[in-house]
């Protein structure tokens, strides 16, 4: 019997409010980098043997309650984890340079990631996405700092003096 239990919703996703969700996240952090190649960007391009090993390892650790975890959602969890892990690795790359391989990362995978980040196409795409994020005008409508709060400041700018008392 697996040591951890997670509840799965009817659409095949892990319930974010269940007791085993933190253990699930910790297991992904520990197992995914050991089983899969972090240098492969797309989850669909991962070695199928490695993916099945990862799935078996997680199945040995977790009992899925109520419903089964769908294959699509399983890949989605892995994709999101790997994307955020690579983002943290890229921050380390920018901060310390390509020569410093972080702990817990295979040296061959680190070299592949550095080569990927150094490609001109990747740099061009990164610059385009950075510029697009900077161009977004996300004006909040509500709250103290939003449009409604600014309008309230204009309307409520009246301060009574002692003559009105």
pLDDT at 130 over 60: yes
Give the pLDDT confidence of 85-98 residue by residue, as tens digits: 999 999 999 899 88
pLDDT band at 155 (very low <50, low <70, confident <90, very high): low
Place of tokens 């050991």: 34
- Of 37-41, 67-71, 72-76, 136-140, the poorest mean pLDDT is in 136-140
pLDDT at 118 over 80: yes
What pLDDT sits at residue 137? 76
């Amino acid at each position: 019997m697996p040591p951890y239990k997670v509840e799965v919703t009817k659409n095949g996703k892990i319930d974010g409010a269940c007791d085993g969700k933190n253990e699930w996240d910790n297991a992904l952090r520990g197992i995914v980098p050991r089983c899969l190649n972090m240098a492969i960007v797309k989850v669909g391009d991962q070695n199928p043997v490695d993916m099945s090993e990862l799935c078996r390892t997680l199945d040995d650790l977790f009992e899925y309650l109520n419903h089964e975890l769908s294959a699509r959602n399983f890949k989605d969890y892995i994709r999101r984890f790997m994307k955020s892990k690579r983002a943290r690795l890229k921050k380390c790359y920018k901060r310390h340079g390509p020569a410093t391989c972080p702990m817990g990362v295979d040296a061959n995978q680190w070299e592949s990631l550095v080569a990927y980040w150094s490609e001109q196409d990747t740099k061009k795409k990164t610059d385009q996405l950075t510029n697009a994020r900077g161009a977004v005008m996300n004006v909040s409508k509500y709250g103290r700092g939003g449009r409604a709060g600014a309008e309230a400041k204009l309307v409520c700018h009246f301060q009574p003096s002692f003559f009105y008392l």
